[in-house]
Structure 1
Amino acid sequence: MIRARFGTLRGLVRLMLSYPQLAFGLSARRQPDPAQVRRLVFVCQGNICRSAFADVAARRLGMRAASFGLSTTTGRAAHGPAIVAAHGLGHDLSDHRALDLADYTPQQGDLLLAMEVRQLHRLAADPRLGDTPRLLLGQWTRPMMPHLHDPYELDDAYMATCLRRVEQAVGGLVSAFPGARLS
């Protein structure tokens, strides 16, 4: 049950720790002015599973979107099992190419949406991004899951579960940030 729902025991523990981090203001979130958000930028570790899928899902919903990874190789293809799971949800990740943080160009109106609290801390520490609004994508899942554990190299059941959660969260962003909609 833990593998299918949370990926690993570590994923469950990190999820449980993320709730008090949010509640006590220890997550390094930086609230946006929703009226100023013009682009949703999804962030994860490798930009080959979670953030790549969120980017594709947001674009499909008519949103301005981008994604990057905190530690990846620019140009890397999406992870094979992520491509398969995305296809099962009606999305195509086959053309996705990863973008590394070093190659990301911030724009005015960007909202950074990370998958994990520790990723918010890395974004806050980056001199180029310290003032950029940043939140956890999992705040838009129901029930709220502030930690969306990395499905890379985990089983197919968890990959599908994770991407369904990402898709649900992205759907919630459409009404929360109407300025990010394409004209």
Structure 2
Amino acid sequence: MEKLVYRSSLSGRIASLIDVGFGTFRGFVRLVLGELAFVGGGLRPFVQIRPREVKRLVFVCLGNINRSAFGHAVADKLGAQVASLGLSTTTGAPAFEKAIAAAPVYGIDLGAHRATDFTDFRYQPGDLLLAMEVRHVHELIRRGIPADAIALLGHWSRPHRIHIHDPHLHTDQYFRTCFAIIHSAVANLVEELRLGESPCLSKK
């Protein structure tokens, strides 16, 4: 009986850690695979930037109502020229209610955010598209975005998170984790761009 209770408690603890830290077990697996690809050098082209060539930061996810919406707002607050888009969304859609609720911890208001679908986005030379997932990188390339204009945002997060799993329809706890990762990544990236005298930070 004690062993059964212990196993149940342990499995519950693991499930809780996955939920809070990674969203889902799939999110954890994608993170591990992404980190392995990073360590192996396969993602090197997408973790290097040339600050003086970056004129605008463009945050990318699927719906542009959670992750990229928040990254957009954080970078804007830090003085960057910024935009965001979703690879599969409806232009004009508002931020998700859980995203709106989680953002004020960082002094961010997503109430006025409206999504932009990729089909309504116009790439400009000097754009740096910041993807949340490795599969987003491949999709952007497939849709014609130059590979050297794409980077994985999570590379700048501390702790390092090459894969930032979608929090949509997951718990409030994972929303907070996800936004903490994005906030860290954006702050570190903007500082690197500032030190590199990037023109995308000429706004403020």
Normalised to the residue count of structure 2, the TM-score between the two structures is 0.85
Q: Percent identity?
A: 46
Residue 47 of structure 1, aligned match among 35, 44, 64: 64
Residue 86 of structure 1, aligned match among 97, 103, 109: 103
Residue 170 of structure 1, aligned match among 186, 189, 192: 186
State the match for 2:169 in structure 1.
153
> What is the identity, as a one-letter code, of the residue corresponding to 1:45?
L
* Number of aligned positions between the proteins: 182
Bigger Cα displacement from structure 2, 130-139 vs 44-53: 130-139
* Alignment of 1:97 onto 2:111: no
**In structure 1, what is the Cα distance between the partners aligned to 2:54 and 2:112?**
26
- Give 1:47 deviation, angstroms: 0.3
**In structure 1, what is the Cα distance between the partners aligned to 2:159 and 2:24?**
19
- Give 1:111 deviation, angstroms: 0.4
State the match for 2:88 in structure 1.
71
**In structure 2, what is the Cα distance between the partners aligned to 1:6 and 1:163?**
12
Normalised to the residue count of structure 1, the TM-score between the two structures is 0.94
Larger radius of gyration: 2
**CA 126–31 in structure 1, closer or farther in 2 if over 3 Å, else same:** farther
Considering fraction of residues, name the structure with more helix.
Answer: 2
State the match for 2:39 in structure 1.
23
Q: State the Cα deviation string for residues 134-165 of structure 1 (Å, max 9, x = none).
A: 11110011121100000000000000110111
State the match for 1:135 in structure 2.
151
Partners of 1:137 and 1:146 within 8 A in 2: yes
**CA 121–30 in structure 1, closer or farther in 2 if over 3 Å, else same:** farther
- Give 1:99 deviation, angstroms: 0.3
Partners of 2:102 and 2:175 within 8 A in 1: yes
> What is the identity, as a one-letter code, of the residue corresponding to 1:24?
G
Which secondary structure state, in structure 1, belongs to the residue aligned with residue 128 of structure 2? Answer: strand
- Give 1:32 deviation, angstroms: 3.5
Q: Which runs of 5+ in 2 are unaligned?
A: 1-16
**In structure 1, what is the Cα distance between the partners aligned to 2:124 and 2:49?**
14
Partners of 1:40 and 1:113 within 8 A in 2: yes
Q: State the Cα deviation string for residues 48-79 of structure 1 (Å, max 9, x = none).
A: 00000000000001111110000000000000
Partners of 2:92 and 2:115 within 8 A in 1: yes
Q: Alignment RMSD, CA only?
A: 1.5
**In structure 2, what is the Cα distance between the partners aligned to 1:78 and 1:177?**
27
Q: State the Cα deviation string for residues 74-117 of structure 1 (Å, max 9, x = none).
A: 00000000000002321000000000011111112110100000
Partners of 1:43 and 1:114 within 8 A in 2: yes
- Give 1:131 deviation, angstroms: 4.6
**In structure 2, what is the Cα distance between the partners aligned to 1:144 and 1:32?**
17
